Every structure is written in structure tokens, then in C-alpha cells.
A and B are shown apart, each in its own frame.
Chain A
Amino acid sequence: MTTLTAKLRDWQLALPLALAFAALFLAPLLLLLGVTFFNDDRMTQPGLAQWAKFFGDPFNYKVIADTLLLGVKTVAATLIVGYPLALVFVDLSPRWQRVLLFVIVMPLLLSVVVRTFAWIVVLGHEGLVNTLLLRLGVITEPLKLLQTELGLVISLTQIEMPLMLLPLISVMSRLEPNLRDAAAALGASRWRTLFTVILPLSMPGLVAGCLLVFASSTTAFISQTVIGGVRLIYLPLVIWQQSLVVFNWPLAAVASMALLVSILTVIAALSWLGRRASGAVHG
């Protein structure tokens, strides 16, 4: 009797949250899907016209591909510089680990708009990078970095870096420190230890970091529009334009579903790969 009431009580504790998610999360998303099946922007005629319109336009395929590619490039960039930082982190004394963790987390708590603004100053025509390179004599003309994909990827690398580092550090600090000494004692070079021991074991953190960075960078509307400018078009801009400028809600809903489904597909594929990779090590 007591166990039954206890069970009910425990389960019921999550009920308010579940109801809130049903009313404020699932219902809106279902409605979003429903709205896509209207032909006109006044939503009177049901039909598939907006799907046909969105997917009939080759330009939109390019926008989807560019959006996903932006995510992939940002993931690659955060991984290339973030993974070594995580490797260095685990070797530090606890005291320095605290300091470094503070530095890593700090940008995460700074507004995305502030970070985006900062990169305008850094990458601008008379910004830090151009001033520095001109004075060093590396270039004679200021580089155009704003409103280019390169500039956007550099900015997103900083903006999303904490999302990559936190899961990586979390997994890597739990690795057995003797593993590396054992590999070294057996004659493995540090490179070989990295690629055959540390990398496979840190796969869960690596995959989690990639997922978060990918999801966040593909939907980073402010950074994409402010640093990317008007000529680099990604899905969030299309969604915003169609819904709040053109007021074609069905088309905006179709574009949202395209973003949602493509991001979730990549995430599902990544987590499947991650499970396989870590399964291969542990199993």
C-alpha cells in the first residue's frame, strides 16, 4: 500500500511540468505542422501548395544546404581548437582548472548579441584583425571579413565554443589518468595515445558537444544576420522574413519544418554514430 502511494506521488511530481510542456511546447509545434497545410496566407484553403512552393524552388535547397554546412563548419572549427584546449585542461592543477573553467564559461553567460557585436569590432574594416595585419605588413588592403562566411564561422566558433568544451571536459576529466602512462610505457607516441586511447574514450563528450554546437549555430539568427549580412541567406532569416515581414505564415511554417527536420536528422545520425563509436570501445 505504502509503495503504491509512494509510486503515485513520485510520478505525480513531474505532472505539472508535463502539462506545461503539453500546453506550451507540444501544442504550438503541432499547430506549426498544421499551418503548413494551408495554401494561402489567410489560411482558408487547406492544401499542399506551400510545400510545393518551398520545395519547388531550387534556391531553397541551396539555403538548406548552406545552413547545414554552416553548422558543420562551426562544429569542425570549435572541435579543432576546442579539443586541444580540453586536453590541456585535464593536465592542469585543480587551481588552474578552476580559473580556466571560469574563462570558458564566462562567454556562455554573456549575451549572444554582445558577443556578436564584439565580433563586428574585431572583424570590421578598421577592426582589430585588419589593424593588426596592416601594421605587421601582412596585408596592404583591409580584408573583407564581415558579411563573409569565413567571418561568420570565426565568430560562431567563439560564440559556440563553451557548448563544445563543457561536455568534452566533463568526459575527459573522468578518464583514468593511468591509461596515458600505460600507453606511453608500452611505447606509444603521444599522437598514437591521443588517437587510439583518448579520442575513442572521449567520444560521448565529443558527440554531445558537436550536437549542441550544431543545433545552436544553425539557428543563431542574430549572428547570422548581423555578421553574415543580407547576402548570406540561412533558414532562420527565411523564417523571420516570411513570418514577420511578408506575413506568409504557411510558408514560414514550411521553412521551420525544413529547419527542424534537417537539424533533427543530423542530430539523430550523430548520436547514432556516437553510440556506435563508444560501443566499439566498451563492448
Chain B
Amino acid sequence: MGRRRSFSDIGYSFVIGGLALLALVIIVTPVVVVLAMSFGEGQSLKFPPTGFTFRWYAELFDASQSRQIHRAVGNSLEVAALSTLFGVLLGALGALGLSRSRSKAARLGESLFMSPLVLPGIAFGLAALMYFTFIGLRPSLGLIVAGHMIVTVPFILRTTGASLSQLDPALNDSSQSLGAAWLYTLRRVTLPLIAPGIAAGAFLAFMSSIDNVPVSLFLSTARTDMLPIRMWGMMESSLDVRIAAISGVLIAAAFVLMLLMEWTVGLTRRMRD
């Protein structure tokens, strides 16, 4: 462009660039700071930490010193795996059903299934606790699985729905006009094409279950302790630098899993669509 850059345009680059940089700093700093803390020798949360030690990680992985944390991690993993499994079964079928219907009921159903994303989780957590108590069910991991399934299934619906909307309907029609049965078409044509979408949604649902606070807060007990609730307890009661070590492990795990999902199903691309 032959136009000379005016003062206002330079100001624009300055302001927008500056704010964008600030956003990046705000996003990245806490992650780096926690990683640094987890290797620090100090007992306090002083920054920058002094010294370098693996002590907190050693304590964290020691079965006798961190038994409660290990149990909470086990519970969280079990609940996340089961709620994702049920979520994928119900959610993928649901997305298929919704994508093929243009009725008002289908649109209403879609808003209902997506509503856990904006509804206050804490209100649903309390409602679930009251409901299970009233119908006489005792607290168990199974109930937490049910609660987590409801609040994480929107992720599966969204990514599966997005892949379905990019599916060429002609594929379906030609498969059927060539004599393939409905189930055969689903299994051999539709499912392979939407599998990456389902996988991306399942990954997001799994991570969001691991991270869930509002439902676990109300449905977990001392016996069915969940990792975020245990960490919250550790933060509220005493200063325990093992939290930094747990955070370090979670950061590493999230990083590796995300790279894996990025290479296999293009996770970030699916999240922006």
C-alpha cells in the first residue's frame, strides 16, 4: 500500500500489540511460576524460590506419605474414564440423531444438552446431591460418574456435531443407494469420518471431568475423595508445597496429552471451529 503509516496507525499497532502481549504474559506466567516453585527448596511460597530439589516430587510419589492424594488421583481417573465412556456412547448417538433432524424438538434438545456449559455448576451439584439423597442413594463413585457425564457431554456433542456438519450428505446417500444397510453405512462410512471429532470431544470431556469441582464438591465424601477437592483442602488448611509438585505433574500430563491429540486428531483446530 502506498499510503504512509500515520501516527494513528502506529498507535494502533502499539496499543493492540501491547495488550496482546499482556494477554500472553498473563496466560503463560502462572504456569511457569508453578513449575519453578515445584523444584524450589523453600517451605514457603516465596518467589523466586531458592535452591533446587526433587524433594516435593519424591514426597508426592511416596506411597506412605501421600496415600490420600494417590487415592484421590485413582478416584478421579476412574470417574473421568467412566463418565467419558458413557458420554461418548450417549453423546455420539445423540449428535447423530440431532444432526439428522431439523425439527423444533431437536433444536430444543440441543440447547438442553448444551446448557450445562453456561448453567452454574454449583447449583447443579447441590441439586444432584439433594436428588440422590431423596431417592435414597448413598454417595458413591457411580453417582459422581453420572454427575460428571451430564456436565462433560456438551464437549462431545459439540465436536461430534461439528464433524457431522462437515460430512458430505452425498456419501450417506450413495452408500445407501448402493444397497448398504443403514447400520453398515453408519459403521463403515459415517463413524470413520467423524471418529476424530468424537476423539477430540472425548479428550476434552475427560480433562474437564478430572478438573471438575462443583459436582465433586457435593457428591464426593471422605471415601470417594476427588483430586481437585483434595487439593482445595490442602490449599485451605496448610501450606503444602506438594501442591506445586501435583501441579507440575498435571502440567506435564496435560502438555503431553495435548501434543498427542494435536498430532492424531488436530485438537486445537477442532476447538476453534
Question: Could you tell me which A residues sit within 8 Å of B by CB distance?
Answer: 6-7, 9-18, 20-21, 24-29, 31-32, 35, 80-85, 87-88, 98, 101-107, 109-122, 124, 126-128, 131, 154, 157-158, 161, 166, 169-170, 173, 181, 184-185, 189-191, 194, 211-212, 215, 218-219, 221-222, 225-226, 236, 239-240, 243-244, 249, 252-253, 256-257, 259-260, 263-264, 267
With A10-B97, A122-B33 given, name 14 new contacts (CB 8 A): A14-B101, A17-B113, A18-B94, A28-B127, A101-B271, A103-B28, A110-B254, A111-B247, A113-B231, A120-B235, A212-B118, A221-B217, A222-B232, A256-B120
| Residue from A28, A102, A184, A267 in contact with B3 in the complex, judged by beta carbons closer than 8 Å | A184
In the assembled complex, the Cα of A153 lies from the Cα of B86 at a distance in Å of: 36
On chain A, the residues within 8 Å of B96 by CB distance are 10, 13-14
B24 within 8 A of A: yes
Chain B: CB-nearest residue to A161:
B27
On chain B, the residues within 8 Å of A256 by CB distance are 120, 122-123, 126-127
B85 within 8 A of A: no
Q: Are A126 and B126 in contact (CB under 8 A)?
A: no
In the assembled complex, the Cα of A199 lies from the Cα of B5 at a distance in Å of: 22
On chain B, the residues within 8 Å of A121 by CB distance are 30, 33-34, 37, 45, 47, 244
- Kindly supply a per-residue 1/0 record for chain B positions 1-44, scoring 1 wherever the CB is within 8 Å of any chain A CB and 0 otherwise: 10100101101110111111011101111110110010000001
**Known interface pairs A106-B255, A119-B30. Does A35 touch B130 (Cβ–Cβ under 8 Å)?**
yes
In the assembled complex, the Cα of A7 lies from the Cα of B105 at a distance in Å of: 13
- Kindly supply a per-residue 1/0 record for chain B positions 142-153, scoring 1 wherever the CB is within 8 Å of any chain A CB and 0 otherwise: 000011011001
Q: Which among B55-63, B191-199, B208-216 touches the partner chain? A: B208-216
On chain B, the residues within 8 Å of A219 by CB distance are 120-123, 214
Rounded to whole Å, the gap between the CB of A152 and the closest CB of chain B is 14
On chain A, the residues within 8 Å of B180 by CB distance are none
- Kindly supply a per-residue 1/0 record for chain B positions 228-255, scoring 1 wherever the CB is within 8 Å of any chain A CB and 0 otherwise: 1001100110000001101100110011
| Residue from B9, B120, B182, B243 in contact with A6 in the complex, judged by beta carbons closer than 8 Å | B182
In the assembled complex, the Cα of A161 lies from the Cα of B90 at a distance in Å of: 30
On chain A, the residues within 8 Å of B31 by CB distance are 106-107, 110, 118
Rounded to whole Å, the gap between the CB of B209 and the closest CB of chain A is 11
B46 within 8 A of A: yes
On chain B, the residues within 8 Å of A113 by CB distance are 211, 213, 228, 231-232, 235
Chain B: CB-nearest residue to A256:
B123
B100 within 8 A of A: yes
Q: Are B117 and A212 in contact (CB under 8 A)?
A: yes
In the assembled complex, the Cα of A111 lies from the Cα of B26 at a distance in Å of: 16
Q: Are B122 and A221 in contact (CB under 8 A)?
A: yes
On chain B, the residues within 8 Å of A218 by CB distance are 120
| Residue from B11, B123, B128, B153 in contact with A17 in the complex, judged by beta carbons closer than 8 Å | B153
Interface positions, chain B 132-175, Cβ under 8 Å from A, are 134, 146-147, 149-150, 153
In the assembled complex, the Cα of A29 lies from the Cα of B129 at a distance in Å of: 11
Q: Are A259 and B123 in contact (CB under 8 A)?
A: yes
Q: Are B8 and A191 in contact (CB under 8 A)?
A: yes
On chain B, the residues within 8 Å of A27 by CB distance are 131
Q: Are A29 and B228 in contact (CB under 8 A)?
A: no
16 chain-A/chain-B pairs, Cβ below 8 angstroms: A11-B101, A13-B100, A20-B150, A27-B131, A28-B131, A81-B22, A85-B19, A85-B20, A110-B211, A111-B211, A114-B251, A118-B30, A118-B33, A128-B48, A219-B121, A219-B122
Chain A: CB-nearest residue to B47:
A128
Q: Are A117 and B94 in contact (CB under 8 A)?
A: no
On chain B, the residues within 8 Å of A17 by CB distance are 90-91, 93-94, 97, 113, 153
On chain B, the residues within 8 Å of A24 by CB distance are 128, 146-147, 149-150
